[in-house]
Amino acid sequence: MRKAVVFILTLYLGLCAAGCISFRIIPSFPLEGYVETVVLCSEVDESGELLVPTEIKSEYSSGDESVYCFIELKNVSRRIQMRWKWYSPDRAMSRDSENVVINREEQYLETLTAYDEFLLDVRDKEKLVGRWTVVILVDDKLVASREFLIQETENFEKTGLKK
Amino acid sequence: MKTYALAALFIVLLVSSGSAEETFFDLRGSYLAYSYDYNQIYGEKVELYSEFCVLTADYFKADIPSRLFIAIGNVVVEKEGKTYRGDEFIFNLTINKGTIVRYKDKVEIEEIGDQPETTLATQANVFNSINFTRIKKSFISFTGQHFEITKNYDVFGYEITFYIEGLESVGLKKFKMSEGIRQKKNGPYLDKIWYNRSQGIIAQAGLLFEKENKVNSLTQIYFEEHSILKNYVGLKRQVDLMTSTSLSFGKSFRAGITGNFNSSKQWNTRFALNKNWGQMGQTQVDFTYNKPINRDSEFWLGLESSIDGGKLGQAALAGRYEFQNQILANFAYSNLFLKKINFQLNSSYSKLRAGDSSDYSKILTGNARLSYESKIFNLATDYYLNHDLFGQQLLSQPQLRFGLNTFRFYDGLLSANLSNVFIYNTFSFDEFKQKTYSNNTIFSLSSQPLYVQKSLSLNFNIALEQFLEKEGRNFTSGGFILNVKQSITKGIGLEGFYSIQSRRKSENWFIEGTTSQDLSTVLRVNPVESINSWVSISYDPKNRQLRQSFADISITFFKTWNFHSLLNYDFLLKKLNNVDLYLIRDSGRFQIRLIWRSLSKQFLIELVPK
C-alpha cells in the first residue's frame, strides 16, 4: 500500500515538473440561457410552476389536433425574445410565431420553459403528410431545430405508431 | 473525494499518451466541453480551423463516434476564398463534406465539398441529445477554450479543467481526452511489458506488414517469466508465437499460411489455397501439420468445396486425409422442390486412431429429412443412421413429425397448438437386435389477456401430453396456469399466479402419479421512472406452506447512479438465503459496478467497457 502511495506521488510530482499538470483551474464559462431541452409533444401540462411536455414523440398523424414544440432554457437573467418557425415538407414556412418577449422584469430564472403550438386543423390534410421542420430563435439567432413526421391517419394506424 | 479524483485521473493518464498526431481540425471557443463517456463536444462562440474550411458559429456540437459535427447560429464558412452564411452547418468528417442550411421564408440547403448529390441535412437528429447538461453529467468530462481533433479522431485539450462526476478537479496543460482509433502501422511494435503477482513479467510484441489488397501479415510473440515468482508451480517461463500471412492474387484467388508455436513443444502450421468461383461456389485445398504434446505428429491434406447449383440444389463436400491413414469426410445437399417441399441430406464418415494404439474407430452417420409446410399443417420425416463400423453397432431411427400450425379463434383471444412425433428405433450389436417405438402427442390452448374490468385482466394456458411406447411406460400429463393482473393505482399493480401440474403413469392395471401446485403473488411498485421494484411470495396449497420470497428494488438517483438489490428468503429453512447489492454508474462508454454478494461474501468493483 505504502509503495503504491509513493509511486502515485512520485508520478504526480514528475508530471507536475514536466508541465503536464498545472493547478491553475480555468473557471467555467458562465453560460447564459443555454438550451437544456427541445422536444416535440402532443400536450403540455400547465398545472405546475413550470411547463411539462407530455406524450413526447416525433411522429404524428394527420388526424392529430396539434404539435407542440417545447423548449427549456437554463440560467436566464435577461429579457429575451423567442420565436418559432414551422416549415412544411416542401420547405416553405407554414407558421411564424413572431417574437414573443419573455422575462421582461429581467429576473434570474434557473429554468425557463416555453412552447409554441402548431394546429393541424387544415382542410387539406394531404398537404400535411411528410417531414416537417421547426426552428427556434432566441433574440433572432437560431438555437435549435427539430424534425418531425406527419403520416396519413390510415397508414399511421396500420403501422401502429400511435401510442 | 480528492483521492478518488486523483486515482481516476491517473488511470486515465496511464492509458493516454500525448503524441504528435496529424491535426484534423483546431477548435477554439469561449466555452468548450468534452464528455469522455459519450465522446461528444459541446461549444459556444466557436472558431474552427481545418484543411477543409474556416468556420465561426454561436454553438457547436460534435459526435465523434458518428464522425459528424454541427455548427448552429450565425454560421460563417470560408472555403477557397468563398464565404457561405447560414443558420446551420452539418459536416461529415469521413467524406469531407458539409451542408449549409438557411431558415428564411423557405428552407435553403447548399452543399459544400465533394459528392454534391448527397445531403447531410437529414442527419441533424444525431445532435438532439447533445447539450451542456449531458456533458457536465458525464462521469469524466473536460472544459476549456482550445480543443484539437486528430485524423485518428483523438481529441486533445489545451489548458483544460478535468471533472469527475461534475466535480472540478485539476487543470491540465495538454491532454488527450479521448481514446481514438488505435491504428497499428507497418513494422515492429511493443504492445506491453507488465508485471503481476500471478503471472510474473509479461511482454507482448509483434510485427505487422500490410499492403492493401495484396499482403496482410501479422506475427505476435507473447512471453511470461515465472521464475521471479515465489511458490510458483509450473514452467519457469512460457513463450507463444503466432504468425498469420494471407496473400491475394486478384479478387478470386487467395493463399494463406498460419503457424502457432508454444514453448511446451506444441505447434501447428497450416497452408491453404482458396479459389472463389463467384455465385457458383468456392474450393479450398489445405495442408496442416499438427504436433500435439506427447503424441505423434499428424499431417493432414484437405479439400473443401461448395457448389450452388441453383434449381439443382446446394451441395458441399469436404474431405481430409492424414498420412497415418486417418480420414474425415462430409457431404451435405439441400434443395427445395415445388416451392414447399424441402429436402436435406447430411452424411459424414470418420476413421480416426484410438489414442496411441494401432486401432481405428470408424463411424458413419447420416440424416435425411423431407419436410412440407402448408398454411394449415407441417409434416416432416427424418431418417437418422449411426453405424459404428469398429464396434459393429448400428442405430437407425426413422421419425415422423406432424403439427397443426397455431390456429386462433374468438378474434385471436384464444390460440391452440397440436403436434405429434413418432420415433421408431432399431438398434443392433453383433447378434443382439432391439426394436422400440414411441409416440408423443402435445396439445396446448392459451389465451390473450382477457379484461374482466378496466384494471383487472386474466390469461390462462392449458397443456396436455400423451406419451406411449412399446415397453409400456406410458404416461399422461396435464397442466393449467392462470395469471391474474390487478392494477391498483398508477405504477402499482398486483399479480397472482396459480399453476397445477399432474402426471399419471399407467402400466397395465397399475396407475400412479404426482400432482404439484404452486400459488404465488407479485406486488409491483413503479410509481416514478426512477423506482422499479417488486416483491413476490410463493405458496404450496397442497402442503399448505409458504415456500420462498424474493424482493427486487431498483432506484436511480444522482445522475445515472443506480442502486439495485435482490433478496431471497426461504420459508422452509427460515433464513435469508441471499442478498445481492449493486451500485452501478452507467457512463456511456463504460460502466462502474460496486457489488456485494452475501452468499459468497464477496465485494467486487468492476469497470466494464461497453
- Residues B504-557 have pLDDT tens digits of 887 666 677 888 889 999 999 988 888 889 999 999 888 888 989 999 999 987
Task: Note whether B468 and B521 are same-domain residues.
Answer: yes
Give the Cβ contact number of residue A14 at 10 Å. Answer: 11
Query: Containing domain of residue A103, as a range?
Result: 34-158
Choose among B74, B106, B145: nearest Cβ to A92.
Answer: B106
Residue A143 lies in a domain: yes
Residue A114 lies in a domain: yes
CB contact under 8 A, B88 and A145: yes
Task: Note whether B511 and B549 are same-domain residues.
Answer: no
Task: Note whether B78 and B118 are same-domain residues.
Answer: yes
* Residue B13 pLDDT exceeds 60: no
CB contact under 8 A, B175 and A144: no
Interface test with B, best of A21, A56, A132 (most B CBs within 10 A): A21
Domains contained in chain B, number: 4
- Least Cα separation, residue B159 to chain A (angstroms): 7
Q: At what angle do helices A2-18 and B2-15 cross, to 10 degrees?
A: 70
pLDDT tens, residue by residue, B287-338: 999 987 777 889 999 999 999 988 889 999 999 999 988 999 999 999 998 8
CB contact under 8 A, B74 and A141: yes
Task: Note whether B55 and B126 are same-domain residues.
Answer: yes
pLDDT of residue B102: 93
**B459: burial class by Cβ within 10 Å (0-12, 13-18, 19+)?**
middle
Give the count of alpha carbons within 13 A of B269, CB side only: 7
Query: Considering the entire predicted model, what is its pTM?
Result: 0.60
CB contact under 8 A, A74 and B133: yes
Interface of B with A in 81-100 (CB under 8 A): 87-88
Compare B25 and A8 and report the one with higher pLDDT: B25
pLDDT of residue A159: 42
Confidence of residue A48 (pLDDT cuts 50, 70, 90): confident
pLDDT of residue B71: 93
Residue B401 lies in a domain: no
Task: Note whether B32 and B92 are same-domain residues.
Answer: yes
Task: Note whether B15 and B107 are same-domain residues.
Answer: yes
Choose among A74, A135, A146: nearest Cβ to B103.
Answer: A135
Distance between CA atoms of B30 and A32, rounded to whole angstroms?
12
Residue A7 lies in a domain: no
CB contact under 8 A, A38 and B31: no
Residue B157 lies in a domain: yes
Residues of A in contact with B10 (CB under 8 A): 8, 11-12
Residue A1 lies in a domain: no
Query: Containing domain of residue B556, as a range?
Result: 528-610
Residue B335 lies in a domain: no
CATH of the domain at A119: 2.60.40.1930
Task: Name the residue of chain A whose CA is nearest to B31's CA.
Answer: A29
Q: In what order do the strands lie in the sheet with B23-35?
A: A21-22, B167-176, B155-164, B140-150, B23-35, B40-50, B54-63, B68-79, B82-92, B97-103, B107-113
- Domain endpoint, select from B176, B211, B230: B176
Interface ipTM: 0.80
Task: Note whether B163 and B68 are same-domain residues.
Answer: yes
- Least Cα separation, residue B12 to chain A (angstroms): 13
Task: Note whether B97 and B238 are same-domain residues.
Answer: no
B91: which strand partners? Answer: B69, B98
Task: Note whether B53 and B164 are same-domain residues.
Answer: yes
Compare A33 and A68 and report the one with higher pLDDT: A68
Residue B123 lies in a domain: yes
Grid cell 498526431 is found at: B21
Residue B308 lies in a domain: no
pLDDT of residue A19: 52
CATH of the domain at B67: 2.60.450
Task: Name the residue of chain B whose CA is nearest to A26's CA.
Answer: B161
- Domain endpoint, select from B192, B222, B244: B244
For chain B, what is the mean pLDDT? Answer: 86
Compare B222 and A21 and report the one with higher pLDDT: B222
* Residue B10 pLDDT exceeds 50: no
Task: Note whether B85 and B140 are same-domain residues.
Answer: yes
- Domain endpoint, select from B130, B153, B176: B176
Task: Note whether B172 and B202 are same-domain residues.
Answer: no
Residue B464 lies in a domain: yes
Choose among A31, A93, A133: nearest Cβ to B105.
Answer: A93
Interface test with A, best of B12, B88, B127, B128 (most A CBs within 10 A): B128
Task: Note whether B468 and B592 are same-domain residues.
Answer: no
Domains contained in chain A, number: 1
Residues 6+ away with beta carbon under 8 Å from B363: B349, B350, B386, B387, B388, B389, B390
Distance between CA atoms of B491 and B468, rounded to whole angstroms?
49
Distance between CA atoms of B35 and B41, rounded to whole angstroms?
7
